[in-house]
Every structure is written in C-alpha cells, then in structure tokens.
Amino acid sequence: MKSIALIAHDGKKAELINFILQNQKYLKNAHLFATGTTGSHIEEAGFQVTKFLSGPLGGDAQIAAKVATKEMDMVFFFRDPLDKHPHEPDVQMLMRQCDVHNVPLATNMASAKLMILGMVQN
C-alpha cells in the first residue's frame, strides 16, 4: 500500500480535491496523509486520511519527517505560486527532503497526473 501525502495552499485546495475525486480508483488503496485543513477537505469529500497539523503550524514539517524516514512514497503539494506564504521556509524544507530522499513530488495538476500514471504502471 502506497503512502501518499496531500497538501494544498488555500488557493489550490479545490483543485486538489477535484484531482483526488478524478483519480479515486487509483488512490482508494493508498494510505493518505494530509496537513490539517487540507485533510478536513479530503474527509468532507469522503476519503479516509491521516491528518497532521495545519501547514503553518508544523504540518509541512511533520510530512517532511515522514519523507526523511522513508515512510512516505510520494507527495502531492499543490502550491499557489502567486500568493505569499508565511511558512515558505517549511515548504522549501519539505521540497528539499523530497529531493534528498528521492521521493516523487508533484506541485501541480500536470505533474500529479504523471505520477498517478507511473503509480498505475508499476
């Protein structure tokens, strides 16, 4: 069972939920993790998810720790590059951990779709 982290900035939460709904047949057998607010939206959409703290309160760091300890197989982080984020250092740290530990990271819908295709083919 794949462990997948789901994170979205406020301006991208609806897009992430739509993505999950469109790909639920591929994600239904995965263990989903999310930051707090995003996780609440995912639950409202009918999915089981393990929630961490909200991103600005440390949720990004909690997911980064799971990446660093090889407990996360992939990360979908729908980022809003046009908005300011006070916890940007945490975001950068999470992205760095994905790079260091060779964990696939999708930051937008197009890369997330490719990751899903790769997951299906393996």
Amino acid at position 50, single letter: T
Q: How long is the chain?
A: 122
Residue 73 falls in the annotated catalytic set: no
CA distances to 46, 60, 98 from 92, rounded to whole Å, are: 30, 9, 10
Contacts of 38 (CB under 8 A, 6+ apart): 6, 7, 8, 13, 16, 55
Which of the residues 60, 73, 80, 90 is marked catalytic?
60
Residues with catalytic roles: 60
